[in-house]
Structure 1
């Protein structure tokens, strides 16, 4: 049965790297679900083991953050914040700084994917109306969302997994990871402003706002207040409570109790595909880690590579995040890797998140930004993104490595 587990694991992670299986339209979620189903039907893992492998605590918190983001979206907050950004009477460089600061800050307390999905369309419309090229601004949204999400335990899915795995403290994580995240945001701005790929686009564009003043964004203050209170509650849960999952689900229940927002509206914005992807990957990696021979082999391999050394972990994170993806990478390392110290978990969170800025395929947020831009008529090629993402990632990772070594 060992050969089947290895074959399924290889096939699933091969699919994670390509985004599909050749000749089929299936995506990463479908691949993970089918892989888990094959292992269950073959008896390589039974139902009880599969349930034990699924980290329901992480899924509960991730669901909570998705529902919370849904509340913000329903209140009109994302439209309003995007509208406020594009109406700022700033030069292109000043506007770029505002976009990076806002998207980075929002991503630290919400899932970065949702921030990118919500802000990108209205931002493109605004910058085009100003006579600006939207490409550097779209790339700024994606890179800033990734970098900003590195700061907190709730900024992105991989941080949630790492937090649950190591039962990490919210404030200690913020102190360790907040500095590299802030540095990452600064690097995004500097590369976009002074890098050869985009500096002329910002320098010669018309700085004056040309926005239709008659367009107004309706903000439901009652819904927004409820969302803000729920956000504060989630943060307090992460700061003071050890058993976070049930308390976070209580926040979901409170958000569902609404006189104006129907349950289908709240849950309709939840990324169920991502949750299914997590479940499938949990079962596949659970089968691997549950087999003593296979798990021992991989653990010895990773220990032999000295993955517990910050510089090696950085290289593994960069390579893995831009092939199989940062979420599958983190899941595999936590299941099959060596014993993780708290400081190395912080490093894994920072490196795996910042590595997502390297290429379009490095992060789901990048893919969302590019797809949203294409729908609005702005095509960002693989090379367009790489000319910004590669230097941003290499510089920010280098500085993050220095910080990790300094505080170790």
Structure 2
């Protein structure tokens, strides 16, 4: 069947269902809303799981828009309720951090890091250790997806220049970015969301999650070193290019702003306030055109979040969430082991952001330990499979464009056992500190 015919048929079916729904042709309006909300949620989760629609050229952001529109079109949510469902603080924080990271990129920060650090490294194992901890640390202070986007090309360039197998180092970038980002509320999109929804102080969460993240980075180093011991048993001499441009003023200014944003956040200021003020200050620039900053803003991610807020709010209002609760009773979900397992499983089935939006209804606002477990484990779960985190896919796609193939099997051999072991340790840790 031709594409335009498929689009016409789907559009016609939607219009007919909408007409029937509007004129009250379905006997029980409440049941009808549950059914429609369930179908919208199912379609959304399928696209999020696969990364795109199996029929049409619809990605995650597009499905979020479609799902949110249908929630209002079928009257499950009014336009006012849809707007209220959007967590503006989360969107502001994500956008503001993207502005900060864009300035870091334009200043040549990642190139500068490579120049300063990697020129002092002469063995494969030392290079692996540097890649793991740099990726982990950077991902704890800026969103890990962006770190992978900007840091992966640097790692590939170094590997090709010193003629070493890039696979272990690319696996290190992806997995370390997930592990490192797990220890803060600004390390990845789902943790930004949790930081906004919960009442957990940022410093308190860092103290509880940092030991697990640090242990995870050590375990990752040991796992890759064991698996790729022959590839890492090399020596080399890396010399950086002298023609790389570093904007020292912009770099200094951006690092100071980022440091102040983090410090003020840790002492108790609202992150959306400090991050937006920092981003606004960076946009006051006489040297860089604003268009260059906006080019690095991931608007797809922002749209995806906005749509998901509306979709999940529609699911809640329709009553479908009560039906889900009958299969996962809230009283049992308060137990850390079961809740943690559900966070890991859901994060790998539907991606970690939708998993957080669904599981948040099982957590009372004052249940800080469950919020912390959700933030840590939904992020660590990203290392279970290659599809568990968008950061993983970013690394693989960038490598693919450079002619380097990272397979699911290569990822699984490291990520699966590492995630299972680290998750068990995390659950025991939260039971201990609870």
TM-score range, shorter chain: over 0.9
The question of whether the paired residues in 2 share the 8 Å contact of 1:54 and 1:279 is answered with yes
Report the equivalent of 2:305. 278
Equivalent of residue 98 in structure 1, options 84, 106, 130: 130
Map Cα deviations across residues 335-379 of structure 1 (whole Å, 9 max, x no partner). x32425101111111100111011111111100001111111110
Map Cα deviations across residues 298-355 of structure 1 (whole Å, 9 max, x no partner). 3343335823222212221221121210111111111x32425101111111100111
Report the equivalent of 1:249. 276
Structure 1 residue 105: Cα displacement = 0.7
Report the equivalent of 1:316. 342
The question of whether the paired residues in 2 share the 8 Å contact of 1:152 and 1:174 is answered with yes
Report the equivalent of 2:232. 202
- TM-score, length-scaled by structure 2: 0.89
Report the equivalent of 1:19. 51
Query: Secondary structure, in 3 states, of the residue corresponding to 1:406?
Result: helix
Q: Distance in 1 between matches of 2:88 and 2:214?
A: 31
Q: Distance in 1 between matches of 2:329 and 2:265?
A: 31
Mark the CA change 1:208 to 1:330 in structure 2 (over 3 Å): closer, same or farther: same
Q: How does 1:326-337 map to 2 (within 5 A)?
A: 326-334=352-360, 336-337=361-362
Q: Distance in 2 between matches of 1:332 and 1:62?
A: 20
Gaps of 5+ in 1: none
Q: Distance in 2 between matches of 1:396 and 1:338?
A: 23
Q: How does 1:153-168 map to 2 (within 5 A)?
A: 153-168=185-200
Q: Distance in 2 between matches of 1:359 and 1:82?
A: 28
RMSD: 1.7
Map Cα deviations across residues 93-151 of structure 1 (whole Å, 9 max, x no partner). 11100111111111110011111111111211211222210000001001111100011
Equivalent of residue 57 in structure 1, options 83, 89, 95: 89
Map Cα deviations across residues 270-323 of structure 1 (whole Å, 9 max, x no partner). 1000000000100000111223x3232233433358232222122212211212
Structure 1 residue 242: Cα displacement = 4.8
Equivalent of residue 266 in structure 1, options 278, 287, 293: 293
Structure of greater Rg: 2
Structure 1 residue 85: Cα displacement = 4.1
Q: Distance in 2 between matches of 1:326 and 1:71?
A: 27
Q: Which moved more, 1:343-352 or 1:36-45?
A: 36-45
Query: Secondary structure, in 3 states, of the residue corresponding to 1:67?
Result: helix
The question of whether the paired residues in 2 share the 8 Å contact of 1:129 and 1:209 is answered with no
Equivalent of residue 339 in structure 1, options 354, 364, 368: 364
Q: Distance in 1 between matches of 2:203 and 2:241?
A: 44
Residue 392 (structure 1) aligned with residue 422 (structure 2): no
Q: Distance in 1 between matches of 2:343 and 2:117?
A: 33
Query: Secondary structure, in 3 states, of the residue corresponding to 2:403?
Result: coil
The question of whether the paired residues in 1 share the 8 Å contact of 2:37 and 2:315 is answered with yes
Structure 1 residue 245: Cα displacement = 2.1
Q: Distance in 2 between matches of 1:67 and 1:395?
A: 36
Residue 42 (structure 1) aligned with residue 42 (structure 2): no
Report the equivalent of 1:362. 388
- TM-score, length-scaled by structure 1: 0.94
Q: Distance in 1 between matches of 2:350 and 2:117?
A: 34
Gaps of 5+ in 2: 1-32
Equivalent of residue 221 in structure 1, options 248, 253, 257: 248
Mark the CA change 1:10 to 1:351 in structure 2 (over 3 Å): closer, same or farther: same
